[in-house]
Amino acid sequence: MCCLVDVKNIISNIYVDLRYATENNFTGRVIYDFQRCLLLKVAALRLKKVQTDLELMGLGLKIWDGYRPIEAQWRLWEVMPDSRYVSDPRKGGRHARGTAVDVTLVAKNGVELPMPSGFDDFSERAHRCFQEASSEALANRDLLSGAMERYGFVGLSTEWWHFDMVGWENYPVRPISSPLRDC
């Protein structure tokens, strides 16, 4: 259960839009050059349970980021050296372990539901305690958090979209050369 897997091989109907594989992110440049969302198999299996529950409500998940090599973490840190929003790569990264995922809620057709802020918003609007958004956005944020927490993920206080698998600190940082294996 400690190997990285392509999330689409576990959850075929999940939406994936890896922002750091494109220039459509806060840095304006490509941070890593792979197009598959990778997670530890145990994290992907938990995420599948979240997706299944959401589908019963006519909803689903869209993933913006999963596994991120430590080399990519350094690129993000160079642009935003603020540990409230970007993990200090000297301490390892949560994404670099394959245990963290950045997600949002979508309708069946993949359209994102309203949230208090956009992805990679480095303001108080992104904080989980922010209350000055629409009631719909706040309800969506709470629904996402509840669904993720039910299956062993915990949110980051400064980013409504970021979730760590409980126990993330027990897994090692994985370099980009870490191979995918059949698990």
Cα(77)–Cα(162) distance, integer angstroms: 17
What percent of the chain clears pLDDT 70, i.e. is strictly above it?
Answer: 95
- Amino acid found at 162: H
Q: Closest Cα to residue 69, out of 172, 178, 175, 170?
A: 175
Name the band, by pLDDT with cuts 50, 70 and 90, for residue 178. low
Asked if the model's pLDDT at residue 61 lies above 70, the reply is yes
Q: Which residue would you say has higher pLDDT here, 176 or 132?
A: 132
From the candidates 112, 124, 149, 159, give the one annotated as an active-site residue. Answer: 159
Cα(52)–Cα(65) distance, integer angstroms: 20
Q: Which residue would you say has higher pLDDT here, 50 or 33?
A: 50
pLDDT tens column, 62-73: 999 999 998 899
Mean pLDDT for the chain overall: 93
Name the band, by pLDDT with cuts 50, 70 and 90, for residue 181. low
Q: Which of 34-38, 111-115, 127-131 has the lowest mean pLDDT?
A: 34-38
Asked if the model's pLDDT at residue 133 lies above 90, the reply is yes
Cα(52)–Cα(56) distance, integer angstroms: 7
Cα(67)–Cα(35) distance, integer angstroms: 11
pLDDT of residue 16: 98
Active site residue 159: yes
pLDDT tens column, 80-124: 998 899 989 988 889 999 999 999 999 999 999 999 999 999 999
Domains and CATH numbers, the chain: 4-170 (3.30.1380.10)
pLDDT of residue 159: 97
Tokens of 173: 């940082």
Asked if the model's pLDDT at residue 176 lies above 80, the reply is no
Name the band, by pLDDT with cuts 50, 70 and 90, for residue 137. very high
pLDDT of residue 87: 87
Name the band, by pLDDT with cuts 50, 70 and 90, for residue 179. very low
